[in-house]
Structure 1
Amino acid sequence: MADIERRFSSIQDFLSRGRSALAKGPVAMIFVEDEVEIDTTIRHHQVAGFAQVLVFMPDAFDLAEDLRATTCRISCDVSQPGALERHVNAVIAAAPGLWLYYCFNAEYLFHPFCETRTVGEMLSFHAEERRDAMLTYVVDLYTGDLAAHPDAVSLDSAHLDRSGYYAQARRDEAAQGHPKERQLDFYGGLRWRFEEHIPARSRRIDRIALFRAKPGLTLLPGHVFDDEEYNTYSCPWHHNLTAAICSFRTAKALKRNPGSTFDIQSFRWHNSAPFEWHSRQLLDLGLMEPGQWF
């Protein structure tokens, strides 16, 4: 695909002229909300082993020259209500059977043993266990020095919370509030510690970010799907793989929001730890699960 063909004016334009990018998976979809760490986010997921990276971003934002030839750039205003779901669902409808993934800029996917195994290898094993979706935990990252990095983002001084994570039963409103089978709402990180600044609907840290497209599948608000089995954390007979999305997104928002920025002088607390950018740390902290994959 020539460089000029890798830039598309809309999702409809991409599906008309660039559908060949969906010939092979897994495919990553990166939704760009601001100009923070766009290039590192894309490169991280290319190295992870995604066959194609689709970048949804406003026309005003810049993309590194080398990435223009290796990604499909699709014009999109991610801030518009429902934009994420509309674009993900359009790709789902166009790519039945393909493994897909989505995240935002300044978010980095880690899976068990990702230093030596690609995301494609992991998903092949996951599919053999008759799983069509994978639970990911969004692990908040933040700078250890807000004075030096007032936007809260620094790859070199990134920290994470090593404790303070918990789960609650996910209630089924259609069944008199009984717990849903193999579904939990997960909490922790900055969204828990600074919950007074976070709307209740945005406090969960679970996201079904890796999934296999199929006809009729629909992503709903809240990072869940209309197929309840896709929202489960494991199959009925044993634990399955999970992954982690290490994300500066919440830290950015808390420092950008006038209602919270002046209340936060530091994100560090007694349970902060430097982020090592390695899957072993996340496994040791219980922030992802290898399941039966060894």
Structure 2
Amino acid sequence: MRHSSLSDFLSVATSQLSPKGPFALLFIEDDTEVTSTIDHLKKSGFREILAFAAGHLLPEDNDGLHLIEADVHKQDAFASITTEVIKLFPGVWMHYCFNAEYLFFPFCETRNVRELIAFIVEERRQSMMTYVVDLYSNDLGKHPNAVSLDQAHLDKSGYYALARFSEDGEALERQLDFFGGLRWRFEEHIPWLRRRIDRVGLFQATKDLRLYGDHTFSEQEYNTYACPWHHNISGTICSFRTAKALVSNPGSMYEIPHFWWKNSAHFDWHSNQLLELGLMEPGQWF
């Protein structure tokens, strides 16, 4: 189903989308790996995929895909659009990502996202923290846009966290600012407000919930990495987005000959690798 504008889609969304969910909101910024991103979302078990993009970037119609023309390059467009969808579907679980980004969670090869959500609900949680793991090609000569599924690499170390503080200077409980990957190694090319890699990658919509441009939510408990009584399951969003930006932005494209370093590792496209590297954890899900 194709919609000519965001307002057109929002006016009929409640009659066209299954209220059961879960939804995947995909923001298509360019034509890189759009098909593989959609295929990954389908394989993960999302019942509805909402693709937002300029008209010429929207893929062909197919089952389970809703195509919405929207200006995704407008500042914080992903946040404002997600918030509008949240308003219409309180109670529905949602995930948002950009093209060339892939959600992974423990045991995702044998369990789908609906089973994951059932476990999270049993833990009395309404969100799951994810960490954006930068992917990049090890050979920019062969892959000048830094994207290659076959030659995808990631950093196996160099990740850290700092305390997160409220506007009053108080340390926030069970909230941290996480850093690492290309945004850490090439931080001179990344604005300070864009360096964090933590993202609430899976959440349940509730009345009055808002998503902000820094990838945090208005409900503070959503921004926590664990509940008060034990660690919770977490996931990763394996993403070529930062690598693409670094090789295309004028301020950095001539300064970076390659992304390879001693702590680069080939990405196996399997959750076991991410678990072994400590980039996500199963919590109590065995």
Distance 1:94 1:222 in 2: 22
1:7 CA drift (Å): 0.3
Give me the whole-angstrom Cα distance separating, in 2, the residues matched to 1:190 and 1:204: 11
Pair 1:202 & 2:194 matched: yes
Residue aligning to 1:248: 240
Structure 1 residue 290 corresponds to structure 2 residue 286: no
In the alignment, does 2:89 pair up with 1:95? yes
Contact kept, 8 Å, 1:150 with 1:255, in 2: the verdict is yes
Structure 1 match to 2:128: 134
Alignment of 1:91-170 (within 5 A): 91-170=85-164
2:12 to 9, 14, 17: 17
Q: Give the structure-2-normalised TM-score.
A: 0.98
**Equivalent position SS for 1:261:** coil
CA contact 1:54–1:74 (8 Å) conserved in 2 = yes
Q: What letter matches 1:52 in structure 2? A: E
User: 1:253 is aligned with what amino acid?
Assistant: A
Alignment match of 2:51 (pick from 55, 67, 82): 55
For 2:20, give the aligned amino acid: K
Give me the whole-angstrom Cα distance separating, in 2, the residues matched to 1:227 and 1:288.
Answer: 23
Letter of the 2:272 counterpart:
R
Alignment partners' CA distance in 2, 1:72 and 1:211: 20
Segment of structure 1 superposing worse, 85-94 or 180-189: 85-94
- Report SS of the residue matched to 2:254: helix
Contact 1:22 1:95 (8 Å CA) reproduced: no
Contact 2:145 2:248 in 1 (8 A): yes
In structure 2, the residue matched to 1:281 is 273
Deviation (angstroms), 1:82: 2.8
**TM-score under structure 1 length normalisation:** 0.95
Structure 1 segments (4+ residues) deviating >6 Å: none
In structure 2, how many angstroms separate the alpha carbons of the residues matched to 1:12 and 1:237? 42
Q: Distance in 2 between matches of 1:96 and 1:249?
A: 29
User: Whole-Å Cα distance in 2 between the matches of residues 23 and 229 of structure 1?
Assistant: 24
Q: Give, in whole Å, the separation in 2 of the partners of 1:284 and 1:256.
A: 32
Deviation of the 1:9 alpha carbon: 1.5
User: Residue 11 of structure 1: CA displacement?
Assistant: 2.3
Note the residue ranges of structure 2 that are not aligned, 5 or more in a row: none
Superposition deviation, residue 77 in structure 1: 1.2
Deviation of the 1:258 alpha carbon: 1.1
User: What's the Cα RMSD here?
Assistant: 1.0
Contact 1:112 1:290 in 2 (8 A): yes
Mapped pair 1:44 → 2:40: yes
- In structure 2, distance between residues paired with 1:247 and 1:41: 10
Is 1:235 the counterpart of 2:227? The answer is: yes
What SS does the corresponding residue of 1:234 show, helix, strand or coil? coil
Q: What number of residue pairs does the alignment pair up?
A: 285
CA contact (8 A) 1:109 1:246 kept: yes
Q: Aligned partners of 1:18 and 1:225: how far apart in 2? A: 23
Deviations 1:150-202 (A, max 9, x none): 0000001000000000000001122xx12100000000000000000000000
- Are 1:36 and 1:106, in contact at CA under 8 Å, matched by a contact in 2? yes
Q: Which runs of 5+ in 1 are unaligned?
A: 1-5
Provide the C-alpha distance between the structure 2 equivalents of 1:22 and 1:62, rounded to a whole number of angstroms.
Answer: 22
Q: Over residues 19-58 of structure 1, what are the superposed CA-to-partner deviations in whole Å (9 max), with x where a residue is unaligned?
A: 2314221110000111111111011010001111100011
Letter aligned with residue 13 of structure 1: D
Aligned-pair CA distance for 1:16 = 2.2
Q: Partners of 1:269 and 1:38 in 2: how far apart?
A: 28
In 2, are the aligned partners of 1:11 and 1:90 still within 8 Å (CA)?
A: no
Preserved CA contact (<8 Å) 1:145 1:266: yes
1:52-83: CA deviations, max 9, x gaps? Answer: 110001101151x4x53330001111101131
* Percent identity between the two aligned chains: 57
CA distance in 2 between counterparts of 1:62 and 1:222 reads: 26
- Which moves more between the two structures, 17-26 or 153-162? 17-26
Partner of 1:3: none
